[in-house]
Copies of this chain bind each other. A is one copy, B any other.
Amino acid sequence: MPRDATLEDVAKHAGVSLATASRVLNGSTRQVGRELRERVEHAATELGYTTNRAAQALARSASDILGLVVHDLSDPYFAVLANAVVRAADMHGLSVMVGTTFRDPEAEIGYVATLRAQRVRAIVLAGSRIDDAAMTERLRAELDRYRGTGGRAALIGQDLLGVDTVVPDNHAGAGELARSLAGLGHTRFAVLTGPATLLTAADRVAGFAEGLASLGLPAPLLFPGPFDRDGGYAAAQRLLAADTDVTCVFAVNDVMAVGALAALRDGGCEVPGRISVAGFDDIPTLRDLTPALTTVRLPLADMGRRAVALALGTVPIVAEPAETEVVLRESTRSLLEDA
């Protein structure tokens, strides 16, 4: 098995020194005379030379890898985010190394350690923090270790780790959603809250509840459960079983809302005829659902891009949260026209 051509091979082949070959092939500030430059380039293509990035990273002590850690790539929320991050990294000439944690904080910490070992240029951490001080502290410690030696990091989620963060305005978005739904005449709400420990979920629940309270409406009924499609399904089933006078359900994210829609449909409950449903995120992949889902739009792709910019330090730190926007669609109906 022939080995890869090295820079030395190229230099020999071209009859120049290692230094010259390096200068020609990998961006240096120094000029190389036309004659030698062409000899080197020719030798390189002839030998099929490709820079060994690992060696390059070692010599330069700077890698061209960006680390990304998400909870679950098959969740369209993260898929869209990851997509944007990969794209943005590409624009900066960086490759992306992804890790998935499947919502295991332990795995998340482990993955940051792996990325630190790779000496990646920057780390982007996506996904909700959880309400677990010990875990948060350990993650923070790991990140601090990384940043302590020049590593850069950015977060998408709650600003809890002392690093630059793109924070989706969950609280405000949910509040606005509450007001919009109330504007349609709804007064009795249920919330499929997701896990109590997930801060993103908690923020949305709180924002929603406060929105209602600010209008003098009664507090919503809460149905906790997992943060995914099946969690939404199960929670909605429980809602149905509870036999309430709720006219509108807020699932704290779109994939849960999809599950809820399925459960209501399976339970013979018309949406929005009998119950209206709203989600959060406005996942592009889910826009063609019927009934089309009322939701709160998050600028996912933009958030990914901004996180990369923050991580790379190409942008001044702005604490300004990612703006949300309520999008009313068919899954919620107005009760007012009944009057």
Contact = CB atoms under 8 A, between A and B. Distances in A.
A117 B99 CA distance: 21
A290 B288 contact: no
Given A50-B113, A54-B54, A74-B284, A149 B2 contact: yes
A264 to B, nearest CB: 11
Interface in A60-85: 63, 65, 72-74, 76, 79-80, 82-83
A231 to B, nearest CB: 13
A241 interface: no
Contacts of A74: 76, 79-80, 83, 284-285
A114 B80 CA distance: 23
A54 to B, nearest CB: 4
* Chain A residues touching B, range: 35 or more
B4 A65 contact: no
A115 to B, nearest CB: 8
Contacts of A116: 50
A258 B114 CA distance: 39
Q: How many copies does the complex hold?
A: 2
A290 B1 CA distance: 55
Contact of A54 (B80, B118, B148): B118
Contacts of A3: 149-150
Contacts of A65: 97
Contacts of A83: 72-74, 100
Interface in A254-287: 255, 258-259, 261-262, 265, 284-286
A119 interface: yes
A95 interface: yes
Interface string A121-160: 0000000000000000000000001001110000000000
A57 interface: yes
A54 B58 contact: yes
Contact of A145 (B48, B53, B229): B48
A2 B53 CA distance: 24
A315 interface: no
B86 A99 contact: yes
A318 interface: no
Nearest to A286: B285
Contacts of A58: 52, 54-55, 58
B117 A53 contact: yes
A317 interface: no
Best-buried of A145, A149, A229 by chain B (most CB within 10 Å): A149
Nearest to A260: B288
A285 B288 contact: no
A148 B58 CA distance: 25
27 contacts: A1-B150, A2-B149, A3-B149, A3-B150, A4-B149, A52-B58, A53-B118, A54-B55, A54-B58, A54-B63, A73-B73, A73-B79, A73-B83, A74-B76, A74-B79, A74-B284, A79-B79, A82-B98, A86-B98, A86-B99, A86-B100, A90-B100, A96-B97, A255-B285, A262-B288, A265-B290, A289-B289
Please name the 5 residue pairs, one residue from A and one from B, whose CB atoms are nearest each other, closest first. Answer: A79-B79, A74-B83, A73-B83, A54-B57, A4-B149
